[in-house]
Amino acid sequence: MGGACCSSSAAGTNVYSADGKAFGDTPKLSVTPHVTFGVFSKGGKGESQNQDSPMTIAKMNGNVNAHLFGVFDGHGGGGGEVSKYLRSQFPVILGGDSAWPRKPQIALKNAAAAVNEKLKSSGMEATHSGSTGCICALVGDQIYTANTGDSRAILGIRNGSKGARPMQITEDQTAKNSKERARIIAAGGRIMGERIYCANSDEPGLIPSRAYGDFSGTPAGVICDPDIQCHEITDDTAWMCIMSDGVWENVPGASISSIIMSSSSLSSAARDIVEEAKRIIHSGKRYRDDMTAVVIQFHNYGPQAAARSRRISDNNEVLQDEEITEDEMLVECLTVCREAMEQGVHVEDVLDMLVGLSDEVRAKVQTQLKKESDRKNESHGGGSSNTDPKKKSKLSRRSSETEGQRGVEKSTKKQFRRRTMVAS
């Protein structure tokens, strides 16, 4: 996917581009635990070669207590296509598992095995290509990490009014990991330096000891089985950051925490983290890896926050979550797409990022984006006269459509802020 990735999220039928204001801005009208997030991705060797694929899905399958985030870091000639495939297929398979969301650990393990088998039979080049997958499922007040490979997730634990201590919550799966090293050797693999090989060949030559795809490395012990851990979200859990190794190998956790806690928004935090990784890579002449950061902020989790959330509003009414309408969903989808396109993502890539939509809604989004693109192209044509009655009629209809859309957006944003608890 070329360009920088804007946050795109789908939750069955609910789609959100939820980005908080400055970190720590606590919504005044808060009722239930919820998350806001921002995403940024950049290719280390040019945007056309970016093989990272971030995944951001809020309210998965319409469940207000279940969210799915992750980073897939592709490698090999077809790594970019593999990571995109995983991003689109993993949530579909997970959401369809009978254990989800009642038994998240079982469902995550099942989904990992199933998506890898599906990848194997997809016809995609996954023999010498593959992807890591650092997946974080939020269910209730628990974070379930399902990590395959060497992408990483860290939490920010509040240690003062303005600070947060970074805490790694996933384990890097490489030959440097003593348990992984022993497992690879027991499976018949060879380790030379940091790379893993089969006993009688120079394949796959991987640094991560676990990956999706990379089927040439199966005899060396390369597997997709995720390491699953569980962490409670408490009053002190401020944020979570999921990163490809192009970020965490270059930016220390303390620096990531400082950036997040001082940023004007979560999207800018994700962008600044990636830009800091890029600066360090270029200044130190390091390997130019792809870089992705997904930053999630937690609101109203933990006993104290739950007590605060039960307070009565100024109108003496307790705010309740509302069902999102199709018009609201369409507006949120378009917001996601517009933000991504402003950052350089092509319109076709943007549509690929919208996971879990019905065909009807996807078609409406595509139609509206095409209208806006055509309108933009016409406005850049220059010099054309608007005296032609037919053109006037077209312009009048477009103006009416735009005003109508603004009306929906204005109404939706008001309701959406209530529902997602983002302060105005």
Neighbouring-strand partners of residue 130: 75, 213
Residue 87 is encoded by which pair of tokens?
């991003």
Q: What pLDDT, on a 0 to 100 scale, did the predictor assign at position 48?
A: 64
**Which distant-in-sequence residues (6+ apart) come within 8 Å of 51 by Cβ?**
43, 73, 74, 75, 79, 80, 83, 131, 290
Q: Which residue has the higher pLDDT, 36 or 320?
A: 36
Can you give the pTM of this predicted structure? 0.72
Q: What pLDDT, on a 0 to 100 scale, did the predictor assign at position 31?
A: 55
**Fold (topology level) of 34-363:** Phosphatase 2c; domain 1 (3.60.40)
Nearest one of 50, 66, 18 to 244, comparing CA atoms: 50
**291-299 and 164-168 strand pairing:** unpaired
Q: What pLDDT, on a 0 to 100 scale, did the predictor assign at position 318?
A: 38
Neighbouring-strand partners of residue 192: 195
Q: Each residue of 53-90: pLDDT tens digit? A: 999 998 898 898 999 999 999 999 999 999 999 999 99
Q: How many CB atoms lie within 10 A of CB 161?
A: 6
Q: What pLDDT, on a 0 to 100 scale, did the predictor assign at position 352?
A: 61
pLDDT at residue 185 tops 90? yes
Q: Do 23 and 257 meet the contact criterion of CB atoms below 8 Å apart?
A: no
Residue 310 three-state SS = coil
Nearest one of 161, 157, 137 to 65, comparing CA atoms: 137
pLDDT at residue 27 tops 70? no
Across residues 175-202, what is the average pLDDT?
96
Nearest one of 110, 83, 84 to 96, comparing CA atoms: 110
Task: Give me the DSSP letters along 40-55.
Answer: EEE-BTBGGG--EEEE
Q: How would you label 206-234 residue by residue, b for 16+ Cβ within 10 Å and e otherwise? A: bbbbbbbbbbbbebbbbbbebbbbebebb
Q: Do 71 and 134 meet the contact criterion of CB atoms below 8 Å apart?
A: yes
Q: What pLDDT, on a 0 to 100 scale, did the predictor assign at position 343?
A: 54
Q: Each residue of 156-168: pLDDT tens digit? A: 999 876 789 999 9
Q: Do 156 and 166 meet the contact criterion of CB atoms below 8 Å apart?
A: yes
Mean pLDDT, the chain, whole residue set:
80
Q: Each residue of 266-309: pLDDT tens digit? A: 999 999 999 999 999 888 878 888 999 999 999 989 877 656 54
Beta-sheet strand order (sheet of 190-192)? 190-192, 195-197, 204-206
Whole-angstrom distance, CA of residue 116 vs CA of residue 135? 14
Q: What pLDDT, on a 0 to 100 scale, did the predictor assign at position 312?
A: 36
Across residues 256-261, what is the average pLDDT?
96
Cα angle, residue 295 at apex, residues 235 and 266 outer, rounded to 5°: 95
- The domain locations on the chain are 34-363
Q: Do 287 and 60 meet the contact criterion of CB atoms below 8 Å apart?
A: no
Residue by residue, what is the 3-state secondary structure of 224-281? CCCEEEEEECCCCEEEEEEECHHHHCCCCHHHHHHHHHHCCCHHHHHHHHHHHHHHHH
Label residue 408 by pLDDT band (50, 70, 90). very low
Q: Each residue of 222-246: pLDDT tens digit? A: 999 999 999 999 999 999 999 999 9
**Which distant-in-sequence residues (6+ apart) come within 8 Å of 323 by Cβ?**
none
Q: Do 110 and 135 meet the contact criterion of CB atoms below 8 Å apart?
A: no
Whole-angstrom distance, CA of residue 414 vs CA of residue 387? 38
Residue 383 burial class via C-beta count within 10 angstroms: exposed 0-12, middle 13-18, buried 19 and up:
exposed
- Distance, CA of 263 to chain centre: 19
Whole-angstrom distance, CA of residue 111 vs CA of residue 108? 5
Residue by residue, what is the 3-state secondary structure of 346-396? CHHHHHHHCCCCCHHHHHHHHHHHHHHHHHHHHHCCCCCCCCCHHHHHHHH
What are the two backbone dihedrals, phi and then psi, of residue 72, each rounded to the nearest 5 degrees? -110, 120
Residue 185 is encoded by which pair of tokens?
């050797």
